[in-house]
Chains A and B, each alone.
Chain A
Amino acid sequence: MLEAQDLCARRGDATLFAGLSLRVPASRALIVTGANGTGKTTLLRILAGLTLPYAGTLRWRGETVPPLSPKLRNDIVWSGHLAPLKDELSAEENLRSLVTLAGGTCDAEGVRAALDEVALLPQRTLPARVLSQGQRRRIGLARLTLLRRPLWLLDEPATALDAAGLQLLGTMVARHLHEGGSVIAATHQPLDLPAASLDSLTLA
């Protein structure tokens, strides 16, 4: 589905990577690894359309897409290393707000079901300020399933998740791949996934 050719990224004068090509077909996950500062987040931000690549092209479903193109942007869901939550809003309000912002529709039952899956139903009316880091990440997971976009870009999705949370993340990713979606994740922790659906890319 997504192909990148000869991507080059620079931060200031330093070249993070150059000549990087990758290909992520449907139903497959690409795990990006590499030491701190090798450009994992930058790569994901380029694919998400937040950062302009210094050079290189992106192809989405066989079509070349210019950087920041809505065509690609509307098919991805970007999950950064922060959970984009507002402290003043409750878990449920945060989730609804994020799904609406992304152009998705959310009925009360869908939101409840998604919160139930990430085991946050009892906390749904609590303001996000009192939720733990792991619980905040779980709201992010609920958002992934509600948005139903084909390509997930996950930056350090395992951060702050407990064992049950990691298992949940693995289940969700596996289900997404089974439904024909794809995933690109930058992570230090191995995801709990069948090796057959995984590709890996190491930045140096």
Chain B
Amino acid sequence: MTAIAHTASVTETPFGVLAALRWAAGRDLRLAMRSRSELGVQLLFYVIVVSLFPLATSPERNLLAAMAPGVLWVAALLASLLSLSRLFATDFADGTLEQIALSPYPLPALVSGKIAAHWLTTGLPMVVLAPLLGMQYGLEGEALAVITLSLLIGSPILSLLGAIGAALTLGVRGGGSLLALLVLPLCVPVLIFGAGGADMVRAGLSASANLSLLVAGLLVALVGAPFAAAAAVRISLD
């Protein structure tokens, strides 16, 4: 038995958590870079949804500026849902998720790495585009900064909460639409505080309360969601 070594000892240390994050995020980012067209589709969807509202409602400047935060947030939520159903589904279909669940690395850390990659490839590009799209709506100065900041803080929450839904709906027929039903209601507070910040600024008030609540939400989701998603992955594999 001497020829067969034990490999698991390092993996349960804090170093193991970092290595797990790096493995999962690195692999998913590499996969995303090799299928860039899918990312483009999601980003384009975001831009198109945001651009449709002025066409469907009215080009009146005040009305647009009042709608802008809500529209940007709802579009970001819908666009992130588009890609969420694939967060675990491809790994589930090709058997990689079984290997992930059996890895000596802590499963919540591996799941966190996947969520981080999901946010970097879908959430962050939307945050970067937000000022540009906000300007289309006549948002300026502080309101524009606050809406971008609120998306920067809030979009990781969407990925984190979405990951729980994505893991729970694995292998379920019609999982994509079920995922939307599960995740959308959970995202309501994020939506309210996210879009509310820019409204406060437009009304001449401070957005700090809204942003603080978003940060609090992000911290709770960061701590809780990876464990919940990891448990959901185990249940889906059983």
Contacts and interface: CB of A to CB of B under 8 A. Distances in A.
Nearest to B19: A100
Q: Place the interface of chain A in its size category.
A: 35 or more
B104 A103 contact: yes
A21 interface: no
Chain B interface SS verdict (over half) = helix
Nearest to A105: B7
A81 B95 CA distance: 8
A49 interface: yes
Given A84-B94, A88-B31, A103 B1 contact: no
B59 to A, nearest CB: 43
B31 A89 contact: yes
A147 B103 CA distance: 12
A102 B1 contact: no
Contacts, number: 91
Contacts of A80: 95, 98
Q: Place the interface of chain B in its size category.
A: 20 to 34
Contacts of A49: 102
Nearest to A151: B4
State the 6 A-B residue pairs at the shortest beta-carbon distance, nearest first.
A74-B8, A82-B95, A88-B34, A84-B95, A103-B104, A84-B96
11 contacts: A50-B102, A50-B237, A51-B237, A75-B6, A78-B102, A82-B95, A84-B94, A86-B31, A86-B94, A93-B30, A104-B7
Interface of B: 1, 3-8, 10-12, 23, 27, 30-31, 34-35, 94-96, 98-105, 110, 234, 237-238
Interface of A: 26, 48-52, 68, 70, 73-76, 78, 80-86, 88-89, 93, 97-98, 100-105, 147-150, 179-181
